Copies of this chain bind each other. A is one copy, B any other.
Amino acid sequence: MATPIPSHQRIVPGSVNLPPYPWPATAKDTSVDPVSIAESVTSKLNGSLSSGDFASISELFIDNGFWRDHLALSWTPRTIKTSAAIADYLSSSPTKLSSVQVDLTSEFRKPQIASFAPGASPDVKGIAFYINWGTSLGTGRGVARLVQEDGEWKIWTMFTCLVELKGWEEKVGARRELGVEHGKQEGRKNWRERREGEQEKGEGEVLVIGAGQSGLTIAARLKMLGVKTVVIDTNEKVGDNWRKRYHQLVLHDPVWYDHMPYLPFPEHWPVFTPKDKLAEWFEFYAKALELNIWTSTSLTSSKWDEGTQTWEVKVNKGGREERVLRPKHIVLCTGHSGKKFMPDIKGLSEGVFKGLAVHSADFAGAKQQQEGTERKRKAVVVGACNSAHDICQDYYEKGYDVTMVQRSSTCVVSNKAALKVLLAVLYEEGGPPVEDSDIWLHGWPSEVMKSIQIDLARIQREMDKDLLEGLEKAGFRTDKGVDEGGLFMKYLQRGGGYYIDVGMSQLIIDRKVKVKQGEEIEELVENGLRFKDGEVLEADEIVFATGFMNMRTQARHILGDEVADRVDDVWGWDEEGEMRGIWKGSGHPGFWFHGGNLALTRYFSRVAALQIKARLEGLGA
């Protein structure tokens, strides 16, 4: 029997665990003028591009350089590694890059001497700068990072991401709608009548399933591209995906990281958004962006016609009427997580346990207990990540006797370290525009991102030293994440396995919340649960904060086996470090996954929407 993979190294099954990228050498000359070096490299690149001399382009890169490309030259997100492969990629692309320009429009974008590895020793210094570029199909932005090799400045990583399609530029800023049609309009409808008509009609080239952050962001991006879209959601109200979650839920990511496209959170918005406040924002977002959302609506059947490349989807609209939609594309936005995952524990389905046993997704919140009652009610929470911690805290504050069941280990990061180390510079008060930050972040190839995260995680653990030691002493096991890459790598490679501490860790350290560590549950018994080691833990209420299955399970559940069998698994890296199955062709034509936290849905909603638009318009995608 093979040694089981240790918990901290677990990644989504089938995904590729790319190793960290060895840091290149730091530049020798850092008193150079970064602008002229950036201009010179860019000018050589433009020269080679215009003459079609792709071989000479490879010489601009270090051997192990990267070109990450989100739709500039291919209709699927790609990361190309090695200078030779880059030349091949550019030469074989049907679209040709032209006019790569150094972006001088702000201090942050301008070429600068940058510290690429401030957490490493020694630091790696080079030159970073933003670019703008165009092709015959569109325009975009990106970021380039140069390092110095044998005295010569070469491109280490290049990133290009498509922003606008020619002919379908977004109607924002100077291109915004007028809002009124001047002059005479026979039988003119007013805005409300037009909106209600659109909303009701359901004439959609795209059907989006789910109106959480994923559904809202993709619908907003598609709307801006002029794509007719309908969003359906089984909930009664937009925002219910958050509203119905556990009582005390507050986002663990800060506001600067959470902005949604086109409608940023205002300046007075709290750092951490409570769930009901976020739900209200979602409701308004749908109205402000004029998205067509059918609530209380479920899909009853779906059929893909290979010949016409069209879906026939029947939905029960508002519980009142059956409607038939014929979209070209379906985007599944029911959460980057799939169906609830409940461990297969003896006695669970049989109802042996006499108390309340629910999945965290169905947990309504702890009830306030009276002080001084003879016997405290006992709560057991199975799981040791964000939700499990929040639920334990809720139980504790309401006067329960609480035990957390941690079966393996958890990557714990204090709230403070998450803000000051993981998100600092890019996502903080007074930071760069969030669009710039996203380009900086996603402009890193995943291997390099891992190297950065390993450094940051080390700094974070030093900052959180007392916390982590305290937890270990209290019997709670912490880990360093995949390849010691910390929280962010766990999120991208595994989709969970971490806790951003907002106060619960101290309750564990102080033994106010107990921990049962390292044992699997054998079975549920009448008054609690029995572990494999024989111990019986009494419980009045058990919450399984045991996570969710792969998104693909939702595809199976909602659209059936025929679709689910054709799609790829979702999440975790492919061999290039791009995410699998999501934000790109799913394997099934006309079928897409979109999901993730607010920040990922912000950035990748555009990547996905542009691919869908390109297919609808026959742009070679």
- The chain A residues found within 8 Å of chain B, CB to CB, are 170-174, 176-180, 182-188, 190-192, 195, 224, 247-248, 250, 255, 262-264, 266-277, 280-281, 283-284, 287-289, 365, 368, 393-394, 396-398, 415, 429-430, 502-503, 506-507, 512
Give the residue of B187, B280, B502 whose beta carbon is less than 8 angstroms from that of A288: B280
Per DSSP, chain A at the interface is loop
Give the number of times this chain occurs in the complex, counting copies. Answer: 2
Contact B398 A276 (CB under 8 A): no
Q: Which of B177, B183, B186 is A271 in contact with, Cβ under 8 Å?
A: B177
Contact between B396 and A184 (Cβ–Cβ < 8 Å)? yes
**Do B270 and A262 have beta carbons less than 8 Å apart?**
no
Determine the chain B residues whose CB is within 8 A of the CB of A502 once the complex forms: 180, 182
Contact at A177–B284, with CB atoms within 8 Å? no
Asked if A276 and B191 sit within 8 Å, CB to CB, the answer is yes
Bound form: Cα–Cα A266–B261 in Å: 10
Is there an interface contact between A224 and B263, defined as CB atoms closer than 8 Å? Answer: no
Taking CB atoms, residues of chain B closer than 8 Å to A255 are 176
For the complex, give the distance between the alpha carbons of A389 and B7 in Å.
72
Which of B177, B195, B397 makes the CB contact (< 8 A) with A186?
B397
A501, closest chain B residue (CB) = B182
State the CA gap A180–B275 with chains docked (Å). 11
Look across to chain B and name the residue whose beta carbon is closest to the beta carbon of A415. Answer: B182
Given contacts A190-B248, A274-B190, contact A174 B430 (CB under 8 A): yes
Contact B284 A250 (CB under 8 A): no
10 other contacts beyond A179-B270, A180-B271, A190-B248, with CB at 8 A cut-off? A176-B255, A179-B271, A179-B274, A190-B276, A190-B365, A191-B277, A192-B276, A262-B266, A262-B268, A280-B284
CB-nearest residue of chain B relative to A184?
B397
A173-B429, A276-B191, A288-B284 known; A270+B183 contact, CB < 8 A: no
Residues of B within 8 A of A185 (CB): 397
A-B contact pairs, 16 of them (CB 8 A): A171-B268, A172-B268, A174-B430, A176-B255, A178-B271, A179-B272, A180-B270, A182-B502, A183-B506, A188-B248, A262-B268, A266-B288, A268-B289, A269-B288, A281-B288, A283-B284
Contact across chains for A512 and B179 when beta carbons are under 8 A apart:
no
Complex Cα distance A396/B191, Å? 18
Q: In the complex where A171-B268, A172-B268, A430-B174 touch, is A507 in contact with B398 (Cβ < 8 A)?
A: no
Nearest-Cβ distance from residue A602 to partner chain B, whole angstroms:
14
Task: Name the contact of A176 in the complex, choosing from B190, B269, B398 (C-beta under 8 A).
Answer: B269
Least distance between A463 CB and chain B CB atoms (Å): 16
